[in-house]
Structure 1
C-alpha cells in the first residue's frame, strides 16, 4: 500500500505512475542496504542494479551504490561510479569526506584520496 496524492497535478495519472516508480526504485535501494547489513553482497548489488535500471539518471542512487561498494572494499568498482557522479554534480564530491566522521563511509585516507581524485 502506498499513499500518494496527485490532486493538484495537471496530469494526475501520469504523475501517479512516476511517483510509484520512484517509490519502487527506492524500495530496491532500501532492500540493497538491508542485504548488505546481512552480508548478502550479491543480493545488495542486484537490488541496487534494479533501482538504477528504473532510474538510470538518478545520481543519488548511483552515489550510494558507490559508497556501498567502497564500504565493502570493492573500491575498483566504486571509483568509476564516483567519477561519473562527481562529473555530473560536484556537490556529491563535497559531501563524500563528510560521510567518514559519521560512519557512513568507511575507507582509509588513501582510499578517500583515490575517491576524491575522481
Structure 2
C-alpha cells in the first residue's frame, strides 16, 4: 500500500492549523484574563447571584473546551511538522540516492568504455 500526498498542500494545511491555534490561544488568553477573574456586574439580588454563578460555570466550561481545542491543535501542528520534516528528509535521501546511483553508473560506464588512446589512433 502506498500513500501519496502533495507536500505543498500539507504545508498549506499546516499554515491553516497555525492560524487556528493562534486564534484558540487568543481566546484562552481573553477568557483567562478578562472573563474568569471578575464577577459579572449584575448586583446583589438572589437572581443576580444565581446568574453570576451560572456565568462563571459557563465561562469555566468554555475555557475548558477552548483549551482542549488549542491543545489538540498543538498536537496536530506537531504531527504535521514531523510529517513535513520526514517527507523532506525522504525526498533529500531519495535525491542523494539517485545522485549516488548516477555516479556509480558513470563509474561503471567509464570502466567498461575506457577512452580511446590517442597514440593508437582509436585502436584499443
Q: If the TM-score is normalised by the length of the shorter chain, which range does it land in?
A: 0.3 to 0.5
Relative to the length of structure 2, the TM-score reads 0.34
Q: Which has the higher contact order (CA 8 A, sep 6+)?
A: 2
Structure showing greater radius of gyration is: 2
